[in-house]
Structure 1
Amino acid sequence: MQRNIIFEDRHIIIAYKPAGIATQTARVGQQDMVSELKNYLAKKPEYNGKKEPYLGLVHRLDQPVSGLLVFSKTRQASRALGRQITNGQIQKYYYTVIYGKPEREQGSLTDYLYKDPKTNRSMIVKEDFPQAKKAVLDFKLIKTLFVFEESIDWEDFGTVPHLGEASLIEIKLLTGRHHQIRAQMSHAGMPLLGDTKYGSESSKELSRKTGCKSVALCAYKLTFSHPVSGKNLTFEKQPEGEIFFPFFSSGI
């Protein structure tokens, strides 16, 4: 866990959550970030096994999603960061890889989402739908690449056919709704690779052919004010998933 800690002081911890690990869970035997970080803190000399460390959960990432999370180490920091979350002062940026190329290079999406508790799925609904919540995000195209079949040396055939296009998109999340990015992007015709719940048949097929088994979504940047000093802080980490590698191998 220590290798996933990006920054730590007396008040906060910034940690990278790998895809597939829960932020927090009550399931016995399942790994989660909160438990792992508490175990890490408990080994520090100031605790010496005498008391359980305090760790405040400020925000979450879905289990299939990777990226940066901020945790508080004191109740004072937790309250201050909670106010920033409520006021929209913690800015969260994501990288995602979508199927195809967007019609616009940048834009905003505004929808209303309803979370169906039976299916654990968020649906795009009308504004007056019961329990609908407004969801807003900004997106920007970074790069589009052709996806080729790696197992065949197409140069021997004189042509280089491709399986399709995939695009790296930067997203600024302006509201924090259940499965917001996945639901909104798919509804807008930009389904995420690796997303079996919200993806289109074409995106699922390309995901299978590229071996993308996890949702291609990473919270790569956080910007907020330190809960005690008030200093403006920004943390970034490049996505680790293989589906992201071709976009960053030659720089973006």
Structure 2
Amino acid sequence: MSFADSLDVLYEDPQIIAVNKPCGWPSAHFSGAEETMDRVVKAYLKEKYHKPGNVFLGVVHRLDKPVSGVLVFARTSKAAARLSEQFRDNLVEKVYWAVVEDGMPGKRAIGLAPAGTLEDWLQRDPVRGVVQVAAP
């Protein structure tokens, strides 16, 4: 069974498709034959809709390889342009949740596990092509 057979589609309409990206999977390909989420979603759409030839899929944002979460792709060029504009103009709110071992110091939310906020500064390393936590 291929990953496309077990693709977790959260939402789909003629303009967009939202999928659950598991940790360890790259969001999109740049070169090579590595299996990536964009390639898996294209294969899913091609098979589901019996599309001959290439399937358009616009990558409008990415999640880092070690991160799991909702990944939204555009199914049309018009949707890709509009979604890209929304991401560029910071109209999309991204929320990151983390599971931590031994909890966090801080207040306990009512009826929930301990809650708190972690804030880190990120620094891009252009030589290695990675982003890492840096001192503020």
- Confirm or deny a common fold (TM above 0.5): yes
Normalized against structure 2, the TM-score is what? 0.75
Q: Equivalent residue of 1:95, what SS?
A: coil
More strand per residue: 1
Q: Is the 8 A contact 1:16 1:66 kept in 2?
A: yes
**3-state DSSP class of the match of 2:44?**
helix
CA distance, structure 2, for counterparts of residue 85 and residue 73 of structure 1: 16
Which residue in the other structure is 1:117 paired with? 126
Q: What amino acid does structure 2 have at the position aligned with 1:14?
A: A
Aligned-pair CA distance for 1:107:
4.8
State the identity %. 31
- Is residue 25–residue 66 contact of structure 2 (8 Å, CA) maintained in 1? yes
Q: CA RMSD in A?
A: 2.4
Aligned to 2:37: 33
Give 1:34 shift: 0.5
State the distance in 1 between where 2:67 and 2:19 align.
14
> Which of these two proteins has the greater Rg computed from alpha carbons?
1
Task: Specify the SS of the correspondent of 1:109.
Answer: coil
1:206-221 equivalent positions in 2, closer than 5 A? none
Unaligned runs of 5+ in 1: 127-252
Number of aligned pairs? 123
AA aligned to 2:87 is I
Shift of 1:54: 0.6
| Match in the other structure for 1:69 | 71
Please say if residues 120 and 134 of structure 2, whose CA atoms lie closer than 8 Å, have aligned partners that are also in contact.
Answer: no
Q: Using a 3 Å threshold, how does the CA distance of structure 1 residues 94 and 114 change in structure 2: closer, same or farther?
A: closer
Residue 102 of structure 1 corresponds to which residue in structure 2?
105
Structure 2: stretches of 5+ with no match in the other structure: 108-114
Does the alignment pair 1:79 with 2:89? no
Match in the other structure for 1:9: 13
Distance in 1 (alpha carbons) for counterparts of 2:134 and 2:13: 41
TM-score by length of 1: 0.43
| Superposed displacement of residue 81, structure 1 | 0.6
Residue pair 1:116, 1:123 contacting (<8 A) in 2 also: no
Residue identity opposite 1:124 in structure 2: A
**Deviation digits for residues 72-118 of structure 1, max 9, x if unmatched?**
0011101111111122222222221124423455457374x321234
